[in-house]
Amino acid sequence: MSERFDLARELRFESAHFLPNAPEGHKCRRMHGHSFVAEVWVTGELNKTTGWVIDFAELDRHLNPIRQELDHQLLNEVPGLDNPTSEELARWLWRRCGAVLPSGIKPTRIVVRETCESAVSYLGADSQSP
């Protein structure tokens, strides 16, 4: 029987956006900002020597450049985020994380919070476990 461990790291960033595809008159069509919190959940094999899947400091080294791409930016100007809903941002983060994580470490869930009362959870293109 194999064990599975999921780890999470938070990415906090301040960004502005507007939603050009929102209905006419919707408040989110106007430019506004959020203090975003994204949880990046990853999985991988447990290293029997270290006792961890990945050192959190190493995970930070891979994720911090992504955070910097988003922090104090207009999300609509970030390539791939021309309609930066929380759902689209979660999918964008999944793709970016999958591209930069070390071999054997995969994203399993991305949670994006644009306010303390709302969240979006993305589990990848299919709902099957990695």
Which residue numbers are catalytic?
28, 72, 114
Tell me how far apart the alpha carbons of residues 41 and 27 are, in angstroms, rounded to a whole number.
Answer: 31
